[in-house]
Amino acid sequence: EDKVVQSPLSLVVHEGDTVTLNCSYEVTNFRSLLWYKQEKKAPTFLFMLTSSGIEKKSGRLSSILDKKELSSILNITATQTGDSAIYLCAMYSGNTGKLIFGQGTTLQVKP
């Protein structure tokens, strides 16, 4: 069964810290892995990682896909209070066409 597991489930840091969020997956036919930031209601798209694009970076956020280990990390450097949110990892299965989400990591950045 296709599955996505995120860790940790919650994290509290102080402004300026660097954080690493983890996502591991099991899938029969991997197509892409997506990261989202969810602040209030709607998840906001951050990155899409595929076999041909295993590393993405945007400002202080970066993400790497490790296809061998079936996992991905999301790094946030020099965290700010505005980074406080739930970070969701999702996997797109090429076989089923399903987009399956992990349970999310709740990040709180304290001043």
Partner 1 sequence: EAGVVQSPRYKIIEKKQPVAFWCNPISGHNTLYWYRQNLGQGPELLIRYENEEAVDDSQLPKDRFSAERLKGVDSTLKIQPAELGDSAVYLCASSHQGDAFFGQGTRLTVV
Which residues lie near partner 1 (CB under 8 A)? 4, 6, 31-32, 34, 36, 41-45, 48, 50, 88, 90, 92, 96-104
Between 15 and 26, name the residue whose CB sits nearer to partner 1.
26
Between 40 and 111, name the residue whose CB sits nearer to partner 1.
40
| Shortest distance in whole angstroms from residue 86 CB to partner 1 | 9
Between 49 and 76, name the residue whose CB sits nearer to partner 1.
49
| Shortest distance in whole angstroms from residue 78 CB to partner 1 | 27
Between 19 and 88, name the residue whose CB sits nearer to partner 1.
88
Cα 82 to Cα 110: distance, rounded to the nearest angstrom: 10
By the 10 Å C-beta count (0-12 exposed, 13-18 middle, 19+ buried), 89 is classed as buried
> How many residues make up the chain in this entry?
111
Instruction: Kindly state the helix (H) or strand (E) to which residue 75 belongs, with its residue range.
Output: strand 71-76
Token pair for 74:
């999301």
Nearest alpha-carbon partner for 74 in 28, 8, 30, 16: 8
| Shortest distance in whole angstroms from residue 111 CB to partner 1 | 24
Residue type, 63: S
